[in-house]
Structures are given as structure tokens and as C-alpha cells.
Structure 1
Amino acid sequence: MNGITAQHHLHLLSGKTGIVFGYASRFLFFNKEDSSRWTDDEKLKFLLFETLLLVYIQKNGTPPTLKADFIDSLYTYYSKYNSKSIQSWLLFWVKEDKITRLENIFSKRIDVSKGIFDNRWWFKTMSNVFVYLDVILFDRFLNDDDHEALRSYSEYAYNSLIAILLAAGSDGLVDEKEQSMFNVFLSSANLEGEYKENALYHLKHGAGYASFTDLPKNDKLFCRFLLDLSLLTIFGNHEVEETEMEFINGLSRELELEDYDMEESMAIIEHFLLYSDIKNSFLSNKNVYEKVYGSLSSRWTKVILRNKDKLAVELSQSKELVGLIKKSATQELTSEEKEKVKMQFMDIVKSMPALAIFMLPGGAILLPLILKVLPTLIPSAFRDNEVDK
């Protein structure tokens, strides 16, 4: 695989902003500081709008008529929603302009009652995780010219719930906490009719791969989302057991994903836990923090080892980057230096997708791992950049 596809780039950015987890940890285009007085729901609504806009720009660029064309496309897309509640909102607000109607649709999409849920981090953070399906299906709507894409929402949401149930039971038991978590996801999924009944049936009687409907394995964005949800469910217990990792490997094969897909998804989730606004509520225990951080460092080392030959060649062409990498091994980089490293690495990883996790926040703090893995691969011509200990 050469380069990063638009879907791959979208998935990485969605992990960075938090929308894949149903949480707005940062925005794509807007300055987060300007939203300090916004509620979490308001932030998520705005991030959903931004992410849908990104999908549109990926497909159509930025023509002079971008605003009107995007709003028209978005309105056409949501008019195909087979949810009765969304359809009623479209009809109720028929006298309002399209932007107002769309804003009310977003409000309805982010409408999970949090008062009935536990106060733990996964209930707060992931109660709106299924809004990301709107992004996945909008991508299909535009790129596959599938104007009925949103009618697949219930099937996509149902399959997502099956993945969650499989992950919850991968250690041999769906405990009370995991059942509560499933109810949060079920509420977020906004399922109706037969799909909801089948999801509840499998919660009671168990699920297997045969419980999935025909999975659209050609929809890489959706398959990555199933993997993300499964990993989130497992990480909700803090401890990842051997049987759970065996399940993740098996699910990856079932979804026809590559090893780097799983590694990236785990890195994205770990980064989210370590660097998002909710880190304090999740990582209140020092031992938990060290386990998550250690797991992330170990995974990055494996990714770098797999790409070390190609990475050494690419690094040899960037004298400034090599100097900053070596500097990071002995002292903290400045904000400007970290940004410079990130931008230069983004150019390199276009030819090495497995290293695209460097695009995520906090990547610069792990640069010393490169020195650990590539101590002899840095050409001698660049040793004068090394910082003396």
C-alpha cells in the first residue's frame, strides 16, 4: 500500500479530534479556545458539521459555491434518513431555512440522556459514539454516488453493536458493567424495530460472527470503526487480557484489515486516553497510566522496526529532522520544534501508512524511540547534529 488514501486520512483526523469516540476533544478548522463556554453537546455538533465538511472537501475541493453546494448536499443526505424521529424534525421545521433544519437534526442526533448513566469515563465520553456513522455514510453517499446510503444506518449501527458485544464477551463473560455500557451504546445507536430487537436478543443470548449481517468489507472506514469500538469496549476494563487480544486479531482478519490497521487503531485510542480532555477521569490511577503509555510505546517500536529500512532512507534526506530527533532524546523540544517535526514526518509517512500515527497529538514525545531502534541507521554525515550528553 503506497500513500495515504482520503479515507485513511479521514480516520486519522477523526481519531485526533475525538469524533470517532463521540467526543469533541479538538476541532478541525475552528479554534477550540473560542468554544470555552460551549457545552459538550454543542462542541460535538460543531465537530460533526466540520467533519462532514471535510468529507465534502475531500471529494469536491473548495469551489466558489462551496457553502451552498455543501448545505444542499447535506440536506439531501439527511432527507434519506429512515429514522422516524429525524423525518419528523425535517417536516416540523419545513418553514425554517436549511441551515436551521440541519442544526436541529444535529441536535436530535446528539440526544442521549446522560442523567441515567453511570458517572464513569466511558459513559460520559462515548454516549454519542454513533454520530460517527453519519460521517461514514456521508463518505459513501458522496464517493460511491450512493444516494440511499443513509438508509443503511440501522444495519451499520446494528453490526457495530454486535462488534461491541463480541468484544465485551471476548474474556468469556459479559459482566454488569459491560451490560450497562451496551445499553449506552444501544441508546446512542437510535435503533428501531427489528434491529433493536435482534441487538437485545444477542445481549441476552450471546453473539458470534454469524450474528453480523452481510458486512460491507469494502467499506474500510466502517470496518475500522468496528475495530475502534471493539478496542474501546475492551479498554473500558483497563486490563487487556490474552483472550481479548486474540479476539481483536480474529476480528481484524474477519474484517479483512491489515496489521497496521489494528496497530493504528490501538495507538489512536491510547493517544486519545493519554492526551484528551478526559484523560484525568480515566487515568486517575498511576499504574493505569503507565500501562497505557507503555503499551503505546511498545507498539510504536514495532511499527518503526517494521519500517526501519525505508525510514532510514527517508530520514537521510532530512538533516534538520534528524537533528531534532536526536535532540528529543536528551531534552524537551519547544512547541515550534515539535510542530516542525510533526510537519516533516507527515511528509515522510505519506509513503509509509503504518507510521501515520505520527500525525496524532503527542507524537513528538515518542521520537526517542527512533533513536532506540535506529541507532546505527542514521548516516554518519548527520552525527554532527547529535546533542552531547
Structure 2
Amino acid sequence: MINPSAQGWIDKFLSKYYSQNSPYPYDSKDFYCRTRDTGYIYGHVVRIDTHENLPIGKWTSEEVSKVALFNSLFGIYQLTEKQPSKEHFILLALKFYDSLHSSGFSFLKKILPHESPSTKLEKIINERVQTNENIFIKNFSHLVTNALLFIDVLAFQNFLLQEELNKNYIQKIEETIVGLISLALNAKTSKTNYDDLLIKLFETSVRYTKFSNKKVESLRVLNLDSLQTNLEKYYLLDLAAMAIWTDRIMDAKESEFLHELGDLLALDQNYIMESLFTLDSFITANKKDIPFFNYSNPIKHFYDQTTQSVVTLITRNKKRLQKELSESKELLILLALSTQRELDTQEKKKVRKQLLDVCKTIPSLTIFLLPGGSLLLPILIKFIPKILPSSFNENLDS
């Protein structure tokens, strides 16, 4: 058995489930469809696409995500390289993530120089799939975070084709995804106040992009012509379909939006219908195991559940939080102001930065530093005044 939480799982995985130099016998479309069938694109992996059956029933969701990411990276490598080898793949994957690190991304902090290449890659992948799932069990926040892991696969393919990392590639993909999700939700006939929350969840789950407040008005503004591969197009279509499918209803306006998107992506109409059918079939088959689809308004449920979880965290860490906050006079003043008026953009940035610095010092609150965690900061800010002493508002007079 493979234990994805024990050192050496990559070598064992490659040795047991792949023969040397055995590339996938199919093209990029088949690779994508087979990957999608595992649930990887949807953020809920139900199996690993390997030559032999790989039992994953006793694995945690995080362990499944690690192996799924590794397997997908290896799959795209085999499709791209003319003479693939396991050793070469690991070295290229390390070079790829090292390029991300040199661009300002901290994947390699825990790696030691003397470790083997496969051990180094295990640590990187372990960091890459960290989500806030362990804190917010039975909600869907990890669904979005995991669904976005396919961006690594697209970026790795771009890296292999260009033989270097295009520093703007991932940022452009992420900007396109968030803009597309916003447009897809806007295309829904029945909108709720919680649709914006889903957009924000995507925004805070991406890892390489800082967003402006500028709204995307139409599909054509997204400049989809800049997409370079069919894998990118297939992925964008599926993400848009997922966003629209949150209520399990597809009306004429929503269908028209997806077909317009498909036309702009130059995808065959039959493929668009196949994509929608596959999504519906996957959700129907796995609905009971995906909390996101178990509620009439899953986004509202997420907000309610996470609010309660944040309140619990604050209460448990009340004394430590009070101590840390008392040492940041400017933060206290801004938090006090926030109870009386709307903070301006600059003030909000200061609160966010200083509050994240406080969270770094309290282990239980590092949840706010994880992908998607910053989405919860407004909830944290809202409840902080309730745990502070009565002298709190006196800061305004300082």
C-alpha cells in the first residue's frame, strides 16, 4: 500500500503504477477527459487515473489531492516529452516549482539541500495542496481550492513547451478564471446575495494574482484569443459550467452563455453538450459526498458554517488575541473606527496586513493565511470588538 503522508510515496507510486517510459496512448483531449472523470477538475477526486487500480478509500482528501496533482503533472509531462522518463520528470517538476519560488512564491522553504529529488517534490506538493478543509469540515471551501489545482498542470505544460516559466502565464489564467466566474454567475436568471461570495472565494483561492476592483463586463473583454492550448479551453468551460450549476438548474439564458463561451473558445457544440452531461453525471453520482451540493443554497450554508467556526476560533484564543492586538495601537484604532463607519481602501489594506501579522503569531489562527482564508477576515473583524475590553472604543480618543 502507498501512504501519501509518508516519505518515499512518489518513488513507490511510480514504481508500482507505471512502467519505465510508458507514455499515455492518447491525445490531450483524452488526457483531459480522463482527468475530469476522476473528479480532479471538479475539486473532488474519486479515483486516480493509473494503469492499475489504486485503492484510495482510506486516504484523506488531502492525500488524494496530493497524488492526483502529482499524477496529472506526470501525465502532461508524458504527453509533452518525446522521450519521457521518471527521473527526468521529477527534475523538471522541481525546476518548474523552483521557477515559481524565484518569482516570489514560497514553495521551497522546508526543503533541505541533501534530500533526494523525489523527497523534495513530495514536500512541494504537500505544501501546494494545503487547504482550510481541516478547519471547516463538511463545507465546500476546499472544493474551489482543489479545482484550481489544475492551473499547476496548465502552467507545467506551458513550462515544458516554452522550456522556461512565463512569469505572466499563471497570472493571466487566474485573472481570466475569476472574470469568467463573475460573468457566469451574472448570467444566472435566479441570483442571490451570496453569489458574490463565490466570486470572492475564487479570488482568495488563487495564489499568484492580486485583483483590482475593475469588473469584467463581457466575455469578449476576457481576451480568450490569447489562450494557447485546448486544455486551457476545456478547463475554462468546465469551471464556468460549475459556477452556473450551483443550483442544479440550467435555463435558456445560462445555456446561451455557455454556448457563447464555447463559440469564443472555438469548441465543438457536441463537446459543450458532452461537458455539461459529464458534470451533471458526476454530481449526480457523487452528490452525497460533496457538501457543496447537499444544500438548497450551498453558498449561504458555507457562510453560516464558517461564521460559526470563526467565532469558535476567536473565543478559544480570546486571551492570546487580546494580548497581540493590544500591542498594535494603530490596528485597534482602525478596528474601533470600523464599528462606526466604513473604512476607506487604504485603511482596509492596513487592517488586513496588520491582522494577518497577528494571525501569524497564533497557531490556531493561521487558517486565515491559507488559500481562501482571507475571505474570512471580514468575519474576524466583525467579531473582534466583542472580545475586547470596554476601554476598546477609547482608542478613538488617542
Q: Same fold (TM over 0.5)?
A: yes
Give deviations 1:281-302, integer Å, cap 9, x for gaps: 56669xxxxxxxxxxxxxxxxx
Considering only aligned residues, what root-mean-square deviation do their CA atoms show, in Å?
3.0
Deviations 1:300-338 (A, max 9, x none): xxxxxxxxxxxxxxxxxxxxxxxxxxxxxxxxxxxxxxx
Residue 72 (structure 1) aligns with: 91
Bigger Cα displacement from structure 2, 15-24 vs 207-216: 207-216
Provide the residue aligned with 2:147 in structure 1: 129
Name the SS of the counterpart of 1:89 in structure 2.
coil
Structure 2 residue runs of 5 or longer lacking an equivalent are: 1-24, 296-398
1:7 alignment counterpart? 28
Task: Determine whether 1:180 maps to 2:201.
Answer: no
**What residue in structure 2 maps to residue 106 of structure 1?**
125
Q: TM-score, normalization: structure 2?
A: 0.60
Change over 3 Å in CA distance of 1:138–1:243 after alignment to 2: same
Superposed, which structure 2 residues align to 1:312-351 within 5 Å?
none
For 1:160-199, what aligned pairs fall within 5 Å after superposition?
A: 160-171=177-188, 175-192=192-209, 196-198=210-212
**2:49 aligned with 1:28, yes or no?**
yes
Matching residue of 1:365: none
Deviation at 1:150, TM superposition (A): 6.3
Indicate if the aligned counterparts of 1:77 and 1:150 stay in contact, CA closer than 8 A.
no
Aligned counterparts of 2:162 and 2:208: Cα–Cα separation in 1? 25
TM-aligned CA deviation for residue 161 of structure 1: 1.0
Q: What percentage of residue pairs aligned between the two structures are identical? A: 21
Do structure 1's residue 145 and structure 2's residue 162 form an aligned pair? yes
Quick one: structure 1 residues 279 and 38, their matched pair in 2 at CA, closer, same or farther if it must change by over 3 Å? closer
Name the structure 2 match of 1:249: 259
* AA at the equivalent of 2:73: L
Q: Residue 89 of structure 1 is aligned with which of 93, 99, 107?
A: 107
Distance 1:207 1:83 in 2: 34
Q: How does 1:370-385 map to 2 (within 5 A)?
A: none
Matches within 5 A, 1:235-274: 235-274=245-284
**Cα shift readout 1:225-283 (whole Å, capped 9, x = no counterpart):** 11100000011121112111111111111222111221121122122212337557566
Residue of structure 2 in register with 1:342 after alignment: none
Paired with 1:58 and 1:271, the residues of 2 have a C-alpha distance of 27
Does the 8 A contact of 1:22 with 1:125 survive in 2? yes
Contact (CA 8 Å) 2:158, 2:165: kept in 1 or not? no
* Cα distance in 2, alignment partners of residues 71 and 280 from structure 1: 32
Q: Secondary structure of 1:176's match?
A: coil
Contact 1:80 1:151 (C-alpha < 8 Å) held by counterparts: no
- Structure 1: give runs of 5+ residues left out of the alignment: 286-389
- Does the CA contact (< 8 Å) of 2:90 and 2:118 recur in 1? yes
Matching of residue 18 in structure 1 with residue 39 in structure 2: yes
What's the CA shift string for 1:200-236, capped at 9, x where partnerless? x14xx45322542564334111011111000000111
> In structure 2, do the counterparts of structure 1 residues 147 and 260 end up closer, same or farther at CA, with 3 Å as the change threshold?
farther
Give the Cα separation in 1 of the matches to 2:256 and 2:166.
Answer: 33
Look up the match of 2:395: none
Is the 8 Å Cα contact of residues 44 and 290 (structure 2) preserved in structure 1?
no
CA contact under 8 A between 1:80 and 1:148: conserved in structure 2? yes
| Aligned residue identity for 2:283 | L
Say whether the 8 Å CA contact 2:28–2:79 is kept in structure 1. no
- Provide the C-alpha distance between the structure 2 equivalents of 1:67 and 1:36, rounded to a whole number of angstroms: 26
Q: Give, in whole Å, the separation in 1 of the partners of 2:285 and 2:189.
A: 31
Which digits, 9 at most, give the CA deviation of each residue in 1:10-46, with x for residues without a partner?
111111111112222100126443x333210111111
Output the CA distance in 2 between the equivalents of 1:97 and 1:277.
40
Pick from 34, 43, 47 the counterpart of residue 64 of structure 2: 43
1:73 offset after TM fit, Å? 1.5
* Residue in structure 2 matched with residue 55 of structure 1 by the alignment: 76
The structural deviation recorded for 1:156 is 0.6
Cα distance in 2 between the residues matched to 1:98 and 1:231: 38
Instruction: Give the equivalent residue in structure 2 for 1:222.
Output: 232
Q: Which residue of 2 aligns with 1:156?
A: 173
Please give the alpha-carbon distance, in whole angstroms, between the structure 2 residues aligned to 1:281 and 1:111: 19
Maintained 8 Å contact 2:48/2:54: yes
Do the aligned partners of 2:227 and 2:233 also contact (CA within 8 Å) in 1?
Answer: yes
Does the 8 A contact of 1:217 with 1:223 survive in 2? yes
Structure 1: how far apart are the matches of 2:178 and 2:137? 19
Q: 1-side partners of 2:193 and 2:100: how far apart?
A: 33
Q: Distance in 2 between matches of 1:182 and 1:49?
A: 27
Deviation sequence 1:59-82 (CA, Å, 0-9, x none): 34676xx22111011112222226
Cα separation, 2, equivalents of 1:168 and 1:102: 37
- Does the CA contact (< 8 Å) of 2:203 and 2:211 recur in 1? no
